[in-house]
């Protein structure tokens, strides 16, 4: 039993370059790149499909049908890719013509079965390929299908006319598997007819070959539009998700002065000293403010609230945090979490930890579970260790929307 994979990569789809194109210099450079050769996760889309079949133990040879203008491009990417790879064949103007060219090339030394696959489905996996091969043991044609889950509408001139009953409807994928001689005969019979077949199963159906359903794969989506490429890239590298991620850090220290309470993390704590400073000297909220500003690269607390400005004398430091949160939101940002470490010998932080977490969560507009408050002593070392003041460090992560 020999199995050949036939990958169709001869199309000149313009959807990926037209959708969302702003017509800049970068776009025109991209426009010259057919989508099969556009990189996803560091490799051209076509390479992912070739690898999937080349690495499958049940596939003996892989043949790619290319556009006549892509020979040099193809040779470059195909170099050393798989020992199963045959020299490429040039396709025709319609998908059907391209598949037939591939089948005729394989017919010189015909395999028992052929799996016909679109290069625009780079996420075909080994399990799906195996399901198609297994199905061909008992059927003449095998078609990967997924159920239609969206409600289907028919419309005319932008107005919905009715709802289509989706019972018995399926979404067809590739690879579509056939006994080689059958599908070659069907394609030869269909050649020259103006039937506009969009896949090989429809040619098999037209020719009277029974085609069995095989379970498709949600991951095996077609990559067609620019948005598809962005999602595909995100899936392979995680880059799109991480692109909006920002982390900021902040640090502050205030010395002790006379008093009977101090404010930490927005919570008033009775103590035999107070923290001295221009505002209420809440080191935790000051460090947190700097972390928020740092995450969006927007200066620091001193730049926005100068200590020389009398209006901030004795101010509740939540004002500073709220202002920084507004700045994050103005940039389309969403705060993911914040973590604070307080450095002091006294007072004990533990009894006030949850109150601080609650207040900080309230100021940042997030769940308390996203706020960490920890404390450590300095083992008597340095100014903090001698009990001369309190320091705080804060880290904040922010998700900015992709621009
Ligand atoms: Mg300060």
**Cα separations (Å) of 22 from 12, 243, 244?**
20, 21, 22
Cβ neighbours for 382, distance < 8 A, ≥ 6 positions apart: none
CA gyration radius, the chain: 32
Q: pLDDT (tens digit, 9 = 90+) per residue, 174-188?
A: 999 999 999 999 999
- Which of 121-135, 190-204, 255-269, 365-379 bottoms out in mean pLDDT, i.e. has the lowest? 190-204
State the pLDDT at residue 403: 40
Q: What is the C-alpha to C-alpha distance for residues 397 and 283, in angstroms, rounded to an integer?
A: 19
CA angle 223, 2, 143 (to 5 degrees): 40
Rounded to the nearest angstrom, the distance between the alpha carbon of 310 and the centre of ligand 1 is 15
Q: What is the C-alpha to C-alpha distance for residues 321 and 146, in angstroms, rounded to an integer?
A: 50
pLDDT, average across residues 8-12: 92
pLDDT, average across residues 71-90: 95
Q: Are 240 and 219 in contact (CB under 8 A)?
A: no
Rounded to the nearest angstrom, the distance between the alpha carbon of 362 and the centre of ligand 1 is 20
State the pLDDT at residue 192: 85
Cβ neighbours for 18, distance < 8 A, ≥ 6 positions apart: none
Rounded to the nearest angstrom, the distance between the alpha carbon of 204 and the centre of ligand 1 is 75
Q: Is the pLDDT of residue 17 over 50?
A: no
Rounded to the nearest angstrom, the distance between the alpha carbon of 379 and the centre of ligand 1 is 23
Helices (H), 140-210: 180-190, 200-207
pLDDT, average across residues 11-19: 57
Q: Are 267 and 355 in contact (CB under 8 A)?
A: yes
State the pLDDT at residue 18: 40
Rounded to the nearest angstrom, the distance between the alpha carbon of 249 and the centre of ligand 1 is 14
Q: pLDDT (tens digit, 9 = 90+) per residue, 334-370?
A: 999 999 999 999 999 999 999 999 999 999 999 999 9
Query: Tokens in use for 231?
Result: 């999602």
User: CA torsion, points 117, 126, 222, 242, in degrees to nearest 10?
Assistant: -150
Rounded to the nearest angstrom, the distance between the alpha carbon of 307 and the centre of ligand 1 is 9
Which DSSP helix (H) or strand (E) runs through 148?
Answer: none
pLDDT, average across residues 307-331: 93
């Amino acid at each position: 039993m020999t199995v050949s994979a036939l990958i169709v990569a001869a199309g000149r789809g313009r959807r990926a370059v037209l959708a969302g194109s702003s017509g800049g210099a970068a776009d025109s450079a991209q426009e010259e790149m057919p989508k099969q050769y556009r990189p996803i996760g560091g490799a051209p889309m076509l390479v992912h499909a070739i690898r999937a079949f080349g690495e499958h133990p049940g596939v003996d040879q892989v043949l790619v049908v290319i556009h006549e203008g892509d020979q040099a491009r193809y040779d470059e990417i195909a170099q050393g890719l798989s020992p199963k790879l045959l020299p490429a064949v040039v396709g025709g103007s319609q998908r059907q013509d391209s598949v037939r060219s591939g089948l005729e090339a394989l017919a010189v030394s015909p395999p028992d079965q052929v799996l016909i696959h679109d290069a625009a489905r780079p996420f075909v996996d080994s399990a799906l390929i195996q399901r198609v091969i297994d199905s061909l043991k008992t059927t003449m044609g095998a078609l990967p299908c997924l159920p239609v889950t969206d409600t289907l509408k028919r419309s005319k001139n932008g107005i919905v006319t009715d709802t289509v009953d989706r019972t018995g409807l399926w979404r067809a994928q590739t690879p579509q598997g056939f006994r080689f001689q059958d599908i070659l005969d069907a394609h030869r019979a269909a050649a020259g007819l103006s039937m506009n077949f969009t896949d090989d199963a429809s040619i098999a159906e037209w020719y009277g070959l029974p085609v069995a359903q095989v379970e498709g794969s949600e991951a095996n989506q077609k990559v067609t539009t620019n948005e598809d490429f962005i999602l595909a890239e995100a899936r392979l590298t995680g880059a799109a998700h991480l692109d909006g991620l920002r982390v900021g850090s902040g640090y502050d220290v205030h010395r002790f002065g006379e008093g009977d309470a101090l404010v930490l993390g927005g919570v008033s704590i009775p103590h035999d000293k107070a923290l001295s400073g221009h505002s209420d000297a809440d080191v935790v909220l000051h460090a947190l403010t700097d972390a928020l500003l740092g995450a969006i690269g927007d200066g620091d607390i001193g730049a926005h609230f100068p200590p020389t400005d009398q209006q901030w004398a004795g101010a509740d430091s939540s004002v500073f945090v709220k202002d920084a949160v507004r700045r994050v939101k103005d940039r389309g940002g969403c705060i993911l979490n914040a973590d604070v470490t307080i450095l002091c010998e006294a007072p004990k932080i533990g009894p006030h930890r949850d109150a601080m977490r609650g207040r900080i969560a309230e100021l940042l507009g997030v769940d308390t579970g996203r706020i960490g408050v920890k404390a450590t002593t300095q083992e008597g070392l340095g100014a903090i260790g001698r009990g001369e003041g309190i320091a705080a460090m804060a880290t904040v992560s922010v998700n900015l929307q992709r621009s």
